[in-house]
Amino acid sequence: MRIAQVAPLAESVPPKLYGGTERVVSWLTEELVRQGHDVTLFASGDSETAATLVPAVPQGLRLAGVRDHTASILVMLNDVLRRAGEFDIIHFHIDLLQFPLFQHLFHKCVTTLHGRLDLPDVHPIYRAFPEMPLVSISGSQRGPMPLNVNWLATIDHGLPASLLPFKAGGGNYLAFLGRIAPEKRPDRAIEIAKRAQIPLKIAAKVDPADQEYFERVIEPLLDHPLIEFVGEIGDEKKDEFLGNALALLFPIDWPEPFGLVMIEAMSTGTPVIAWRSGSVPEIIDEGVTGFLVESIEDAVRATRQVRGLDRLAVRSRFEARFTVAKMASEYLHAYERLLVTLEYRHPLAKSAHGTRSIPSEVLPSLPSLPLLPSLTPIVGESVRHPSQRSYPHEAVIDDV
Amino acid sequence: MRIAQVAPLAESVPPKLYGGTERVVSWLTEELVRQGHDVTLFASGDSETAATLVPAVPQGLRLAGVRDHTASILVMLNDVLRRAGEFDIIHFHIDLLQFPLFQHLFHKCVTTLHGRLDLPDVHPIYRAFPEMPLVSISGSQRGPMPLNVNWLATIDHGLPASLLPFKAGGGNYLAFLGRIAPEKRPDRAIEIAKRAQIPLKIAAKVDPADQEYFERVIEPLLDHPLIEFVGEIGDEKKDEFLGNALALLFPIDWPEPFGLVMIEAMSTGTPVIAWRSGSVPEIIDEGVTGFLVESIEDAVRATRQVRGLDRLAVRSRFEARFTVAKMASEYLHAYERLLVTLEYRHPLAKSAHGTRSIPSEVLPSLPSLPLLPSLTPIVGESVRHPSQRSYPHEAVIDDV
């Protein structure tokens, strides 16, 4: 299959420092190449990949000092559009700029939504272009979205099985890994450790935006024999940091759409104690890979229960659910569903009424298009059923 | 002429409070309607206009609490695209989101660039789509732009002649009107007033973003008998505030692309003392409507010279250059140049080589397009000369 991966331009793929989306795009891209597919990656020029790299900008825009990425992304999207005929599937990892431009090509497009979807600012684009095939990264992520969008699948993130190897050791500290940010609730982690009388190691960065929160709320809590603020750690230290922990604390306070750090911990065999928020109930298997909690007391109790969990069982669940091989396999199934099914309601086919269609001066000449694929509902998923139609060119545009 | 005006969605047209671009869009729209044209205004639903209003969102997005306007603008642009056949001219007052989507329709599009153009973040879109006809609001605004873009004209902003009527009175204070922001240099205004021993009235708002600057830099300077901080004033007080002043101080420190407050002052007959920065040398007629300065000493000297200026001459220059009737007339000439000239290099006509063209599955079927208009160079302007071609469909895409 000829596949285009369209990445954000904030960071290189993979990122030089942080960048959850760019890490996932990198893992997926490299795995698809490894499996023999013809992959073209549209990303920043300092990306590193075995795929064909099409550099949209010379360097990841954040480190290049560019604040507004819109112009660069639009130029990249126009390049993708110009070359659309070279690909069987165009897979976007950005949230919204591609919708109007690719409205003629939704039959071969997929957009994975990587962020939270509850802020109303972005909903107009999904209401206006409900036909774009979407992939969510958790079931809970979908909740706030308009009801008639076109969910193709929910696909868990996955990382390479060998990236964070299993560590058998018991571990005698609780781990907190990530950013010192209010919604991640490092203060809860500190409280849990103190009440459970177990050491806590905090490996986290403090962004400029979070400096005030760190100084005002967290720093005062660090002065305690059980609490150790390790600061930022590089990727090469993650395996040791997570693998030697008793458990990862994930006491979040917001609708996390996935939470990569949870599967990173599980990869090393370390179980997770996490607040029941966002995606967490879908990621953690209660009593196997960790515990879901709703209070400090729950969490303290869980720190005692967690010693009874089998670290090998944690690793096994990771291998079953959260490897990049699994993620790539699910994406390939999703791509195939798009390409092989028979009927598709083309959103812009000129209807007999014609009042809502794009004027002919800008539309492609539709009679020459082949019958376009449609979306077979996935068993158990609630999706819109494309109406049965003999004449695809008489499709009516959704009333948005 | 059937004209679409496409406004930003941050504020209504006209704005409820502040919004330079939305004010100009409102003045232009109402004047075009007054002159008998068929105008459709794409803007927020709380806009007020004699044109046909197509509401893109219910309310101006800033007051509606929406921070990211991208999705709403994209949906609006798609509506404009769907209805493109209804208009002879589509006039955009937003900076970049329309370029890829309207690349087939540049022959009937105009974009007025309302902001500063020196920040590199946006340049990629202008390099990639150099054919979009652009209007600058001053000559100096063009300086930092890529060289091969398609300047159609420079058109001064203009306001209704009766909006800020002439006031004959001498005036005995200096006026500063606008925002308390570092680049507007209210501190210079205060220093000038103190050294010239002339009262200064500051009618300005303090945005949350500028609160720290106000408290740290400006507030300490206000405690002086000559300095009066009036705070925000509404539109209804502007005529009196500007009209009764000896001069407007405009001591800016940044490449201002236009500077509406200067022509507001001139409308009342009040001359302007302004730093030689950005558009200022093009707006002020030295020794007639004010003085261009480069230092506090210059400015102090100018406060004495300004009494020798003829307020009626200031008003006359305003009436000759900066009324909305003049602005509308220049835009209509620009629209007509687009529509009536005979030859146009269509950026996306399929060339014999075809390698850079948009694939046929998404291009309109070009053979049915009429000969498209081209751009006649404006006398005195340096523009690209479209190459002479007999076969418009063999136009080659610019190497961007």
Q: HEC profile for chain A?
A: CEEEEECCCCCCCCCCCCCHHHHHHHHHHHHHHHCCCEEEEEEECCCCCCCEEEEEECCCCCCCCCCCCHHHHHHHHHHHHHCHHHCCEEEECCCCCCCCCCCCCHHHEEEECCCCCCCHHHHHHHHHCCCCEEEECCCHHHCCCCCCCEEEEECCCCECCCCCCCCCCCCCCEEEEEECCHHHCHHHHHHHHHHHCCCEEEEEECCHHHHHHHHHHHHHHHCCCCEEECCCCCHHHHHHHHHCCCEEEECCCCCCCCCHHHHHHHHCCCCEEEECCCCHHHHCCECCCEEEECCHHHHHHHHHHHHHCCHHHHHHHHHHHCEHHHHHHHHHHHHHHHHHCCCCCCCCCCCCCCCCCCCCCCCCCHHHCCCCCCCCCCCCCCCCCCCCCCCHHHCCCCCC
pLDDT confidence of residue B170:
67
How far does chain A reach from its first CA to its final CA, in angstroms? 33
Nearest to A362 among B105, B129, B357 (CB): B105
Chain B CB contacts of A66 below 8 Å? 120-121
Contacts of B82 in chain A (CB under 8 A): 356-359
Query: What token pair was written down for B94?
Result: 């937003």
- CA-nearest of B46, B67, B66 to B56 is B46
Q: In the predicted model, is pLDDT for residue B33 greater than 90?
A: yes
Q: Is the pLDDT of residue B387 over 90?
A: no
Identify the three-state secondary structure at position B123: helix
Residues B77-104: tens digit of each pLDDT: 999 999 999 999 999 999 999 999 999 9
In this predicted complex, what is the ipTM? 0.81
Please indicate if any CB of chain B lies within 8 Å of the CB of A68.
Answer: yes
Question: Does residue B227 contact residue B187 with C-beta atoms inside 8 Å?
Answer: no
The minimal CB distance from B96 to the residues A70, A99, A360 is found for A70
- Determine the residue type at A350: K
Q: What proportion of chain B, given as a percentage, has pLDDT over 90?
A: 79
The confidence band for B319, taking pLDDT boundaries of 50, 70 and 90, is very high
Residue carrying the six token digits 């990122």: A15
User: Does B217 reach chain A within 8 Å, measured CB to CB?
Assistant: no
- A355 interface with B at CB cutoff 8 Å: no
B97 and A67: CB-CB below 8 Å? Answer: no
pLDDT at residue B221 greater than cutoff 50 = yes
The shortest C-alpha distance from A243 to chain B (Å) reads 40
Q: Which contiguous run of DSSP H or E holds residue B57?
A: strand B52-57
Chain B positions in Cβ-Cβ contact with residue A77 (cut-off 8 Å): 100
Give residue for tokens 């049965």: A388
Which chain B residue shows the shortest CA-CA distance from A350? B82
Radius of gyration of chain A (CA): 23
| CB of A71 less than 8 A from some CB of B | yes
Nearest CA in chain B to A66: B121
Ramachandran assignment for B329, one of left (phi > 0), alpha (psi -120 to 50 degrees), beta (any other): alpha
Q: How far is CA B311 from the centre of its chain?
A: 26
B251-265 tens-digit pLDDT: 999 999 999 999 999
- Interface contacts A/B by beta carbons within 8 Å: 131
Residue of B nearest to A123 (CA): B71
Q: Locate the chain B residue with the closest alpha carbon to A65.
A: B121
- Residue of A9, A59, A75, A346 to mutate, testing the B interface (most B Cβ within 10 Å of its Cβ): A75
Of the given ranges (A307-316, A369-378, B173-182, B284-293), which has the lowest mean pLDDT? A369-378
Say what the pLDDT of residue A351 is.
Answer: 37
Per-residue confidence (pLDDT) for residue A197, from 0 to 100: 97
Residues of A in contact with B78 (CB under 8 A): 100, 103, 128-129
State both tokens at A91: 């897979």
Q: Is A76 exposed, middle or buried (0-12, 13-18, 19+ CB in 10 A)?
A: buried
Whether residues A68 and B122 touch (CB distance < 8 A) is answered with yes
Question: CA of B399, closest CA in chain A: separation in Å?
Answer: 13
Interchain contact, B74 vs A99, CB within 8 Å = yes
Q: Tell me how close the Cα of B139 comes to any Cα of chain A, in angstroms.
A: 23
**pLDDT of the residue at B299:** 98
The pLDDT score that the predictor gives to residue A170 is 66
pLDDT at B110: 98
The Cα–Cα gap between B334 and B1 comes to 13
In this prediction, residue A340 carries a pLDDT of 77
Q: Is the pLDDT of residue B30 over 60?
A: yes
Closest chain B residue by Cα to residue A105: B362
Would you write out chain A's pLDDT as a tens digit for each of its 400 residues? 999 999 999 999 999 988 899 999 999 999 999 999 999 999 999 999 999 999 999 999 999 999 999 999 999 999 999 999 999 999 999 999 999 999 999 999 999 999 999 999 999 999 999 999 999 999 999 999 999 999 999 999 999 999 999 999 768 999 999 989 999 999 999 999 999 999 999 999 888 889 999 999 999 999 999 999 999 888 889 999 999 999 999 999 999 999 999 999 999 999 999 999 999 999 999 999 999 999 999 999 999 999 999 999 999 999 999 999 999 999 999 999 998 764 444 444 433 333 344 444 454 433 333 333 333 333 333 333 334 333 333 333 333 3
Residues in A closer than 8 angstroms to B119, CB to CB, are 68
B128 close contact with A: CB closer than 8 A: yes
Please state, as a whole number, how many other Cβ atoms lie within 10 Å of the Cβ of residue B119: 12
Closest CA–CA distance from residue B106 to any residue of chain A (Å): 12
- Whether residue B354 is predicted with pLDDT greater than 90 in this model: the reply is no
**Closest chain A residue to B72, measured at CA:** A124
**Residue from the list B121, B128, B365 with its beta carbon closest to the beta carbon of A67:** B121
Contacts of B83 in chain A (CB under 8 A): 359
Identity (one letter) of the amino acid at B219? E
Contacts of B367 in chain A (CB under 8 A): none
What's the confidence (pLDDT) of residue A341? 62
The region of weakest confidence among B137-151, B214-228, B353-367 is: B353-367
Question: Helix B235-243 crosses helix B260-267 at what angle (to 10 degrees)?
Answer: 70
Residues of chain A contacting residue B146, judged by C-beta atoms under 8 Å apart = none
Residues of B in contact with A85 (CB under 8 A): 359, 361
Give the rounded percent of residues in chain B with a pLDDT score beyond 70: 85
Contact B97 A74 (CB under 8 A): yes
Residue B123 and residue A364: Cβ atoms within 8 Å? no
Kindly identify which residue of chain B lies nearest to residue A370, measuring between CA atoms: B361
Contact at CB, B359 and A84, closer than 8 angstroms: yes
Of the ranges B233-242, B336-345, B381-390, which is most confident? B233-242
Cβ of A68 within 8 Å of Cβ of B103? The answer is no
Contact B105 A71 (CB under 8 A): no
Question: Can you tell me the distance from the alpha carbon of B87 to that of B136, in angstroms, rounded to the nearest whole number?
Answer: 22
Contact A358 B120 (CB under 8 A): no
Tokens of B264: 């507001």
CA distance B334 to chain A (A): 23
Chain B residues within 8 A of A97 when measuring between CB atoms: 70, 74, 97
What are the backbone angles phi and psi of residue B340, rounded to the nearest 5°?
A: -100, -15
User: What pTM was estimated for this model as a whole?
Assistant: 0.83
> What would the two tokens of residue A302 be?
């869980």
> How many CA atoms lie less than 13 Å away from A116 in the CB half-sphere?
11
Q: Which of 153-212 (B) contact A at CB < 8 A?
A: none
Judge: B362–A67 Cβ closer than 8 Å, yes or no.
no
What one-character DSSP code corresponds to residue B157? -
Residue spans of alpha helices (H) in chain B: 20-34, 70-82, 123-128, 186-196, 211-213, 235-243, 260-267, 280-283, 296-305, 311-321, 324-340
Judged by CB atoms closer than 8 Å, whether chains meet at A125 and B361 is answered as no
What residues form DSSP beta bridges with A91?
A5, A110
pLDDT of B51 higher than 90: yes
